[in-house]
A = this chain, B = another copy of it.
């Protein structure tokens, strides 16, 4: 049987159409290759191309934004990193004669807003938690729910339930984890590797088994781009109802939905909220607006001072934070990278907390406003929860 299919494979290798799915062109090269010395080599066969460059965060450890790939006479292009790649999940593209393109030898991509990037993991301790490992796995579901007050009637969340949830009969604490501007209910799963991080850290005993709820913070949207009744409309970065108080006002409805539909422990000591960038802003606002809801708050590179509109939610913020800290959260965790464009905003925000003697934990990393930091922050924040 393999022989029979193989004949068709060769006959159809270059046609897309009549015999879909069964057949594919064999890749001419392997790419990327992690070499024995820890460097990575990127390869492309492109005899018709004039110029091919590598772009992406894979070049950041070397202070580069773009790397020309060397061509041989047969039309093979190659680039090897100048030194070993630090352990991390990396994204990259090729620029083929100036057009951003994916690596045809790498089937794995992640969408970030409207751009598609190839992805791979350079192995090592710092990326070990981002890999799917042979450990017990939680369930990831895409679940629709009604959001009272939203401009659309049904909206979608992603929800991670820990290994054994379905049969344990136990109730679990819940982390509500919020995306940034341009993100959606898939962002933390795909770019943030949430399911892998939770599976791995639960398996190692570093963290408590917990439910993780990933709402969509764009109140004008039903769900992630391509997965709503908007169809395959190209994603846009700016949307209405993102930082105008609508999401924060509706948030207790999400908590109610989760606690009515999942075995969640329904008290403050077993609820956490955290988010990145806009999601950090949301976490700050929601946790201060409903001071009895969350005992654990995480602000990751938070756009902490950027609400717009005249929402009641955004009035008297300092007084509401004073009210929140009258019974201080068990953990109030602020993290940002030294190169983040929101760094100064976070310095100012911490000064306000300091002036009021409100306790918090601060973690400063290198780097900027980027997923490598947000994944890392999550692995540092999770072990603090529900202790």
Contact = CB atoms under 8 A, between A and B. Distances in A.
Interface string A71-108: 00000000000000000000101001111111011111
Contact of A137 (B24, B30, B154): B154
A295 B117 CA distance: 45
A361 interface: no
Interface in A158-173: 163, 166-167
B100 A19 contact: no
A266 interface: no
Contacts of A93: 16
Nearest to A60: B17
Nearest to A187: B21
Contact of A21 (B102, B183, B234): B183
A218 B236 CA distance: 38
Most chain B CB neighbours (cut-off 10 Å) among A30, A45, A163, A341: A341
Contact of A19 (B98, B121, B369): B369
A170 B177 CA distance: 32
Nearest to A142: B140
A322 interface: no
A45 B95 CA distance: 13
Contacts of A137: 144, 154, 156
A194 B93 CA distance: 31
Contacts of A139: 141-144
Contact of A232 (B2, B115, B121, B232): B121
B96 A97 contact: yes
Nearest to A30: B234
Contact of A227 (B21, B132, B341): B132
B1 A308 contact: yes
Given A20-B369, A101-B104, 6 more contacts: A16-B93, A20-B368, A24-B113, A44-B99, A49-B97, A108-B232
